[in-house]
Structure 1
Amino acid sequence: MRLHRLDVTAFGPYRDHQVVDFDALGADGLFLLHGDTGAGKTTLLDAVAFALYGSVPGARGEVRRLRCDTADPQTPTKVVLELTVQGQRLRLERSPEYQRPKKRGEGYTTQPAKASLTWLGGAPTEQPPAGLTRIDEVGRTVQRLLGMTVDQFFQVVMLPQGEFARFLRSDTAEREQLLEKLFGTQRFGEVERWFVERRRERGRAVEARTQRVRELLARVSQVCGAEPAEGANHQDWLADVEKRALRDLEGAQAEQSRLRREREAAEAALTERRELAAKVRRVRQANETLAQLAEQQAEHDAWRAEREAAQRAVPVLSAHRAARRAEQDRDRARADLAEAAARCEVDAEAPLAELRALAGARREEAGGLASLIPEAQQQQSDRRRVAELAARIAEDERREAELVAQQASLPERITAARQRVEEARHAELRLETVRARGTEVAGLLRIARDIPGAQQDVAAATTRAHQAVDAHQQARDRLQDLRARRLAGMAAELAARLTPGQPCPVCGSAEHPAPGEPVDDQVRAEDEENAQAAEQRAHARRDRAIAQAQRAQQHLEELIERLGDHTEPELAAELDELRAERDTLENTAAQLQQRTAELAELEASTQRLTNQLSELRTRIAAARSEHAALVTTVDQRQARLRDGCGEFDSIEQRRAHLLDLATRIERLVTARIALDDAERHLADQRNAVTEAAAEAGFDSVDAALAAERSEERRNELAAALAEVEQRAAGARAALASPELSGVDADTEIGLEEATEAATVAREAAERAAALAHRAEQRQREITQLAERLRAEWAELGPALAEYAELEALADVVNGRGQNARRMSLRSYVLAARLEEVAIAATRRLQRMSDGRYSFVHSDAAGARGTRGGLGLDVLDDYSGKVRPAKTLSGGESFLASLSLALGLADVVAAETGGALLDTLFIDEGFGTLDSDTLDMVMDTLDDLRAGGRVVGLVSHVEEMRQRITVRLRVRRSRTGSTLELQT
């Protein structure tokens, strides 16, 4: 990578357009950026970094404020860099995000960041010829061409002020983080985490298997009721448990067989005794039944007579009920006839033929009126329609008047709505101006309120400065006084050091005839040194106090200048007015959309009202025409219907009256015929009752009715007689059966003794069966658990071995266990890279330190067991001992840091495979070096230049300015910094 040209505009302290020609600067391979402190030397390096990566190094990148504060508002901030990388010449142009004044109105707006890449010598085949304009695409392309990230760039190409020495002084953890970023060793950290996660997963699996083994051992112990002895072999203990369970099962099964046979013999004896007792009981029950039935014989005969009489009376009762029903039918027919005669308007005793003819005449008249019913119904419908039309015409005429009134008021409403919309739009435009002015006034008000405090700070700082000047003057006076007094007593001080026989350090004589006498209040050398140190401290405090007073005064002047002629009460009142106006404008502007919609609705209402009026008037005309036609038709039909109604209100009522009259006459005829039929049927049923009583063998109908019994009573008698016969037959059959032949009813059976013996035998057999079942279940469960336990043991062994191997390997990879150096895999890789850096940096450090210092890489573990591998010390050839880098002096630290940074740059460039780095920038404190050391550093930089690289230095050291022939001077003024090429 070689830089050609840099253009900066309104960037940092540069308010105008400035150009840096790196081709002219780097023609000799070494150039210098020099100038006053704060002039903007480091800003040029920031501009190069910003053009490449859109970022600046160090703490300046965290502020993200790159625009020049004094630049013209219309001048855009941008950086343009031309460079060649990997044979491709290109131009990079970037602009940061910043605030600029609005083109219209007051206030500020955000100018977004921009970036572009232009190919100057023809675009590569995979790139668009027009270049790139997206920030992310430009960033990816630059990083791909350079082959390094922004962090690597700041460590390899641009060594920023106060940054590259950090690597030398950092501890192991910080050095590990930086090396990991530079060399991209995150993948080794992933390997370490992979081993840890794999070990954790396998550990959980092994723990799960071990837990299952413990649970199975516990289950076996629970089942067999014994725990294995401490330290005993679990497999041998399991085999003993299985054998003991099998022996217990065999003994329980033998005892169960013996007791089962005893139970069967006792139950057989009990069954025989129970059968004999049942036969004796049956004989006794049969004899008792026959004796009881003989005693109840008279009662049973009375039941049979009562049942037979009730059965003979059944036909008489049926005929009697039929006669009563015929009598009830006759009574109902009489009542119906009386009711029909009362409702008729004719003679009820008239002949039936005359009544039938009268009913037919009424029906025929009603039929003639049927043709007028549809016209009567239509008449009612038309009258309702006439009323509806009249109401609709009235409603439409009222609606027409309302629409006409609305149409007349529309122009005035539209004008008012337009005024409201314009008011909201004006409020929206005015709001931005009021907000900007409010922000400005609020800032001025804060400045006005800060001025009293700033004035107090100036007074306090001025007082402290005066006190510091007085204190320094007193310290200086004391130092001068002590020096004068010490000079006065110097002879006595030298005389105090003389020893008889030893030569005088002044004249060389071994004799001291008249040594000086001590003076009063003798001043010693250490007194003078203490006074000089106190004077220097007072001088430093005076400088700090004066600087603080100047800064406080400058800050106060800036506040007063920014405030101008404004006063705090005026600003507060104006701010209150602006805030009230802002709230009013915000409320009005917020209604713009609503007011615009209302205006659009009113404008659309004009045509809508016209259409509605046209439709409404057409409907009114049609309704009036239909209403007039219906009125004429209704009047003509009403004359015809009046004759058909007669004295009734409607045709339907007259026709219904005629039909009802015909129906009542027909009902009267039907009632007279029904009464005649009921009287004949009643006479027939009374004769049938008398005949049925005689046929049943009763003397009279009353005797037959007295023998009546309910069906429930008859069923009870039949069931009782059947039960008597069944009991007698059963008892006689039981006594006559062969089974009970020869059985004596007085025989005594010993059943209790046999029952007790059978119960004892059955309980003993059940207990033995339960014990055998438990023994069998326990033996089966132990066998199953033993199979599962041996299977778990078989799987646990290889799993434990595999986990132990994985755990040991994971510990080694992560710097623990058998890893004696306590180095993780990532640290080991970084240590190898650091060793390469130390070798590359040692070559330059030995030359710059005239062979005195060398870097020593240490892979020993840290204190208190911390990880090692990234230690970096310095070998001092004068003492032959290794010492920490932090013990180096300021100049020595600079040499070591510079050597380490150059070595790190070489190794990182070789590791990343990036572009050839032809340009290198160093921004660091060369002022800590003496003349000879500076010569060595310049020789090392000459070596870099001889290798074809261009080295740019940033320094204000005068000796370096004299040594370097080509340099870029930065001048600072109140209007901004400028650049001047010097040779």
Structure 2
Amino acid sequence: MRLHRLELTAFGPYCDHQVVDFDQLGADGLFLLHGDTGAGKTTLLDAIAFALYGQVPGARNDAKRLRCDTADDEVTTKVVLELTIQGQRLRLERSPEYQRPKKRGEGYTTQQAKASLTWVGGAPEGHTPEPLTRIDEVGRTVQRLLGMSVDQFFQVVMLPQGEFARFLRADTGEREKLLERLFGTERFGEVERWFVDRRRERGRAVEARSQQVRELIARLSQVSGVPQVSDLGEPNWLEDIEKQALRDLENTAAEHSRLRRERDQAETVLAERRELAEKVRRVRQARATLAEIDAKQAEHEAWRAERAAATRAIPVISARRTAERAEQDRDRAEAEVVTWAARCQVDPATPAEELRTRAGAEREQAGALAQLIPEAQQQETDRRTLSELAEKITAGERREAELVAQLDGLPDRITEARRRVEEAKHAELRLETTRTRLTEVDALLTAAREVPGARRELESTTARAQQAVDEHQQARDRLQDLRARRLAGMAAELAARLTDGEPCPVCGSAEHPEPGRPVDDQVRAEDEEAAHAAEQRAQAARERATTAAQRAEQQVNNLLERLGQHTEAALAEELEQLRSEQDRLSATAAELPQRETALAELESATDELGEQLSALRNAITAARTENTALSKAIDEREARLRDGRGDFDSIADRRAHLLDTAEKFEQLLAARTARDDAAQRLTEARTALTEAATAAGFAGVDEAVAAERDEERLAELEEALAEVDRRAAGARDALASADLFGVDPDTEVGLERASEAATTAREAAERAAALSHRAEQRHTEIADLGERLRAAWAELGPAMAAHAELEALADVVNGRGQNARKMSLRAYVLAARLEEVAIAATRRLQRMSDGRYSFVHSDAAGARGTRGGLGLDVLDDYSGKVRPAKTLSGGESFLASLSLALGLADVVAAETGGALLDTLFIDEGFGTLDADTLDLVMDTLDDLRAGGRVVGLVSHVEEMRQRIGVRLRVRKSRQGSTLEVSTS
């Protein structure tokens, strides 16, 4: 991968458009990126990473703040990167997601992220020439071309500040996470988990089969009653159980056969005795029944006579009931005649002809009145109409007066409505001006209220900045003092490490005749490192405090410039007046549609009221004419209706009275006819009753009534006589049957002794049958369980052997069991990768440390049985001893970290294709090196330029500017950072 051109717009601290020409910067193979702290050096590396992957390294990616805060709202944040990958030149353009002000209205809207990839000079084979615009498609294409993930790219191409110092000092767990992320060894972890899961599955299968064997053995022990000898049983124990079950089955079967024969003999004897006892009982019962019937012969004859008399009395009773009903009908008809005669106010014996004549006269008068009913109804309708006309005339006269009054007042109302419309239109024009001024005054008042706080913040930040400057100066003075004192005592420090007989690291002599003596208050290397770290922290605090003070000063100046001559009190008073004026004008302007509608309605009301008044006057005149004509017709009709009503309230009432009277006379005539018919039927019924009693053989009707019986009594007599006949016939047939011939009713049978003997034999046989059945079931169940147990044993053995083998292999893969180094498969692979990294890093570390230090990889197990394989120490050639990397000084740690980063980059690059490091960036850390060590590091970096590779260094160390000819400087200002290229 080689970078050609980078363009940034509104990205990070760069508020406008900036361009970096890497072809120009990398012409010499090495360039320096420098500038003030916080100016945006690392942001350029972030821009490259964002253009490629849409992400930036480390915690900055989590902040999601890639847009420049001081950029103009109309400027779009974007990064454009032109580069060559695998011989193919392409152009990447990305924009992050950020919040921008809405173009209309207030508030913010989300600007969505965008990405595009354009092929420069033609698309490679397998790709379309059109640009790619989908974010996910662009990301997949870039990662496929580079051959590495985003994490690998951050570690291989961009060596971040402090990252490898942490890796150098990290424990095994943290180091394992980084290496796994870089080398993608997740598949080996999946292999470990596969073995664990497989072992767990096989273990569950073996346990299931073992549980099946245990359950079968427990069941066999329960069925046979023989206790089990072990958890998984033994074949001899099963054979003994099966043999004992077979012997029990044969013994119980023989006993059951003997007792069954004895039971059959006893039951045969019992059946014979029962048959004889039943015959004796039947003979005795038949003779007893015949004797009982003969004793009740007289009672039975009385039952038959009662039944015959009740049968003959049935026709007489029926005729008697008919006569009683006829008498009741005659009495009801007589009462009806009396009732209607009372209603007609005549004597019940009045001749029928007279009643018919009076009914005809009433109906004739009612017919004459029928023609007057419509006139009476019309009279009521006309009277209601006359009343409605009078009310209509009165209402019309009132409405006429109202319309006249409205017409007289319309001109003044129209003038007032026009004035209100003009007032609302004028308010609408003034409202916009008032709102604009209100917004301006409100913003000025807010600024005026912020001034006191901004001044206090300025005073506070200025004081803190001065304090930070003093503290930084004190830290620098102390550092310089410690360095001078340490140089003075350096000989004593080296002499303290000399040992008799061992060569001096300076001159090589084994004799030390005059070693340097310690000076008073000698300074150690740790003291110098602590002072240097304190000076760096003080410098960072100074820069932060100075920046904060500058921002506070700019904030105060901006506020005062906006306010001009305005004061807070005057602005507050003007704001209150403007708000009141805005509310009044808003209310007035809002009424414009209603006021215009009201004016239009008033202007059209004049013609409408005139038309309404004319129509109303015509309607009043017509109503008065109709009222006069209708009153005359009502008076003429009233004379005729008065004669027809007579003493009644209405014609209809009088006619209804006449018809009711005629109806009463007719009902009286009908009742007299019905009475005569009922009397005739009563006479005929009484004659038929007397004849029926004589025909049935009774002396009179009373005798026939006395012989009457209800149906229930007759049914009892029939049932009783039928039962007597059945019992007598049954007894005679039984005595005459061949089965009972010659049977003596006094014979003694002896049934109880035979029954007891049969019961005893049957119970013994049943017990033997139950024992034999249980023995057979037990034998069958034991045979089935034995067969299943042998099959389970046959399956369990190979399964246990396979599980033991798999368990041992899984333990080895996961760093346990027979794995002496306690290294899992994944840790073993990572250890191999780390060993390669240590070898590659050692070559550079030895050169940069002038042959003193080398990396040592250890695959030994950790303390207390913890996993090993990822140990990384350093070999000090001066002492010949291996010591932890944590004991290195600050400068030595930087050399080791840089060597480790370059070695890791080489190994990862080899893993992903081997030709990806045409461009490499190293971020910070050079400030911890002395001049000689810096020479060694620069020599190593010169080697990296071999083969056309470009190396970019990010540093603010002054000496780096003198050593590197091509420089890209980042200038920081309040408006935003800018880039400047220089050469020397």
**C-alpha spacing 1:954/1:450, structure 2 compared with 1 (3 Å):** closer
Which deviates further from its counterpart, 602-611 or 299-308? 602-611
Structure 2 counterpart of 1:529: 522
Structure 2 counterpart of 1:753: 753
Residue 951 of structure 1: how far off its partner (Å): 1.3
Which deviates further from its counterpart, 252-261 or 435-444? 435-444
**Counterpart of 1:529 in structure 2: which amino acid?**
Q
Residue 154 of structure 1: how far off its partner (Å): 1.9
Map 1:267-282 onto structure 2 (within 5 A): 267-282=267-282
Query: What secondary structure, in the 3-state scheme, does the structure 1 residue paired with 2:219 have?
Result: helix
**C-alpha spacing 1:210/1:921, structure 2 compared with 1 (3 Å):** same
Task: Tell me, yes or no, if structure 1 residue 327 matches structure 2 residue 320.
Answer: no
**Counterpart of 1:926 in structure 2: which amino acid?**
F
Residue 844 of structure 1: how far off its partner (Å): 3.2
Separation of aligned partners in 1, 2:836 and 2:591: 79
**C-alpha spacing 1:807/1:72, structure 2 compared with 1 (3 Å):** same
Separation of aligned partners in 2, 1:370 and 1:871: 133
Separation of aligned partners in 2, 1:236 and 1:388: 125
Query: Contact 1:18–1:979 at 8 Å: present in 2 too?
Result: no
**C-alpha spacing 1:549/1:365, structure 2 compared with 1 (3 Å):** same
Q: TM-score, normalised by structure 2?
A: 0.73
Query: What secondary structure, in the 3-state scheme, does the structure 2 residue paired with 1:161 have?
Result: coil
Separation of aligned partners in 2, 1:16 and 1:848: 41
**C-alpha spacing 1:283/1:811, structure 2 compared with 1 (3 Å):** same
What does the per-residue CA deviation read over 1:590-611, in whole Å, with 9 as the maximum and x for residues that have no partner? xx9x999999999999999999
Separation of aligned partners in 1, 2:593 and 2:132: 47
Query: Contact 2:2–2:84 at 8 Å: present in 1 too?
Result: yes
Q: TM-score, normalised by structure 1?
A: 0.73
**Counterpart of 2:702 in structure 1: which amino acid?**
D
Structure 1 counterpart of 2:157: 157
**Counterpart of 2:895 in structure 1: which amino acid?**
L
Task: Tell me, yes or no, if structure 1 residue 905 matches structure 2 residue 905.
Answer: yes
Separation of aligned partners in 2, 1:336 and 1:211: 104
Residue 314 of structure 1: how far off its partner (Å): 3.8
Residue 894 of structure 1: how far off its partner (Å): 3.1
**C-alpha spacing 1:314/1:203, structure 2 compared with 1 (3 Å):** same
**C-alpha spacing 1:241/1:70, structure 2 compared with 1 (3 Å):** same
Map 1:36-435 onto structure 2 (within 5 A): 40-63=40-63, 81-90=81-90, 92=92, 112=111, 117=116, 119=118, 121-122=120-121, 124=123, 139=139, 142-230=142-230, 233-344=233-344, 349=349
Structure 1 counterpart of 2:870: 870
Residue 26 of structure 1: how far off its partner (Å): 1.9
Query: What secondary structure, in the 3-state scheme, does the structure 2 residue paired with 1:164 have?
Result: helix
Separation of aligned partners in 2, 1:418 and 1:785: 106
Which deviates further from its counterpart, 527-536 or 896-905? 527-536
**C-alpha spacing 1:753/1:376, structure 2 compared with 1 (3 Å):** farther
Map 1:428-447 onto structure 2 (within 5 A): none
Structure 1 counterpart of 2:925: 925
Structure 2 counterpart of 1:979: 980
Separation of aligned partners in 1, 2:4 and 2:328: 138
Any unmatched runs of 5+ in structure 2? 490-511, 561-566
Query: Contact 1:822–1:868 at 8 Å: present in 2 too?
Result: yes
Structure 1 counterpart of 2:826: 826
Which deviates further from its counterpart, 532-541 or 829-838? 532-541
Separation of aligned partners in 2, 1:874 and 1:534: 23
Separation of aligned partners in 1, 2:10 and 2:459: 34
Query: Contact 1:969–1:982 at 8 Å: present in 2 too?
Result: no
Residue 38 of structure 1: how far off its partner (Å): 5.5
Separation of aligned partners in 1, 2:734 and 2:273: 20
Query: Contact 2:359–2:662 at 8 Å: present in 1 too?
Result: yes
Separation of aligned partners in 1, 2:151 and 2:258: 95
Map 1:528-567 onto structure 2 (within 5 A): 528-529=521-522
Structure 1 counterpart of 2:495: none
**C-alpha spacing 1:873/1:412, structure 2 compared with 1 (3 Å):** farther
Structure 2 counterpart of 1:515: none
**C-alpha spacing 1:383/1:860, structure 2 compared with 1 (3 Å):** farther
**C-alpha spacing 1:190/1:260, structure 2 compared with 1 (3 Å):** same
**Counterpart of 1:124 in structure 2: which amino acid?**
A
Residue 956 of structure 1: how far off its partner (Å): 4.5
Which deviates further from its counterpart, 440-449 or 166-175? 440-449
**C-alpha spacing 1:139/1:250, structure 2 compared with 1 (3 Å):** same
Separation of aligned partners in 1, 2:980 and 2:756: 130
Separation of aligned partners in 2, 1:443 and 1:215: 85
Separation of aligned partners in 1, 2:197 and 2:704: 111
Separation of aligned partners in 2, 1:668 and 1:295: 70
Separation of aligned partners in 2, 1:235 and 1:396: 126
Separation of aligned partners in 1, 2:314 and 2:7: 139
**Counterpart of 2:258 in structure 1: which amino acid?**
R
Query: Contact 2:372–2:644 at 8 Å: present in 1 too?
Result: no
Any unmatched runs of 5+ in structure 1? 484-503, 507-523, 568-572
**C-alpha spacing 1:868/1:748, structure 2 compared with 1 (3 Å):** same
Residue 777 of structure 1: how far off its partner (Å): 3.5
Residue 760 of structure 1: how far off its partner (Å): 2.4
Separation of aligned partners in 1, 2:320 and 2:42: 141
**Counterpart of 2:759 in structure 1: which amino acid?**
T
Residue 919 of structure 1: how far off its partner (Å): 1.7
What does the per-residue CA deviation read over 1:168-209, in whole Å, with 9 as the maximum and x for residues that have no partner? 333332222222222333333334334433443444344334
Query: Contact 1:356–1:666 at 8 Å: present in 2 too?
Result: yes
Which deviates further from its counterpart, 556-565 or 858-867? 556-565
Residue 798 of structure 1: how far off its partner (Å): 5.1
**C-alpha spacing 1:438/1:219, structure 2 compared with 1 (3 Å):** farther
Residue 565 of structure 1: how far off its partner (Å): 13
Separation of aligned partners in 2, 1:28 and 1:439: 55
**C-alpha spacing 1:440/1:234, structure 2 compared with 1 (3 Å):** farther
Separation of aligned partners in 2, 1:744 and 1:810: 99
Query: Contact 2:77–2:95 at 8 Å: present in 1 too?
Result: yes
Structure 2 counterpart of 1:844: 844
Structure 1 counterpart of 2:954: 954
Separation of aligned partners in 1, 2:687 and 2:422: 112
Separation of aligned partners in 1, 2:385 and 2:800: 102
Query: What secondary structure, in the 3-state scheme, does the structure 2 residue paired with 1:251 have?
Result: helix
Separation of aligned partners in 1, 2:593 and 2:672: 89
Query: Contact 2:118–2:132 at 8 Å: present in 1 too?
Result: no
Which deviates further from its counterpart, 934-943 or 595-604? 595-604
- RMSD (Å), alpha carbons: 6.3
Separation of aligned partners in 2, 1:454 and 1:119: 49
Query: Contact 2:821–2:867 at 8 Å: present in 1 too?
Result: yes
Separation of aligned partners in 1, 2:796 and 2:363: 112
Residue 952 of structure 1: how far off its partner (Å): 1.7
Separation of aligned partners in 1, 2:784 and 2:203: 27
Query: Contact 1:19–1:979 at 8 Å: present in 2 too?
Result: no
**Counterpart of 2:946 in structure 1: which amino acid?**
A
Residue 863 of structure 1: how far off its partner (Å): 3.4
Query: Contact 1:12–1:43 at 8 Å: present in 2 too?
Result: yes
**C-alpha spacing 1:847/1:733, structure 2 compared with 1 (3 Å):** same
Map 1:471-490 onto structure 2 (within 5 A): none
Separation of aligned partners in 2, 1:554 and 1:634: 110
Query: Contact 2:185–2:826 at 8 Å: present in 1 too?
Result: yes
Residue 922 of structure 1: how far off its partner (Å): 1.4
Query: What secondary structure, in the 3-state scheme, does the structure 1 residue paired with 2:3 have?
Result: strand
Residue 981 of structure 1: how far off its partner (Å): 0.5
Which deviates further from its counterpart, 728-737 or 24-33? 728-737
Residue 356 of structure 1: how far off its partner (Å): 6.3
**Counterpart of 1:212 in structure 2: which amino acid?**
Q
Structure 2 counterpart of 1:765: 765
Structure 1 counterpart of 2:493: none
Residue 817 of structure 1: how far off its partner (Å): 4.0
Separation of aligned partners in 1, 2:559 and 2:436: 27
Separation of aligned partners in 2, 1:531 and 1:877: 21
**Counterpart of 2:335 in structure 1: which amino acid?**
A
**Counterpart of 1:946 in structure 2: which amino acid?**
A
Residue 949 of structure 1: how far off its partner (Å): 0.6
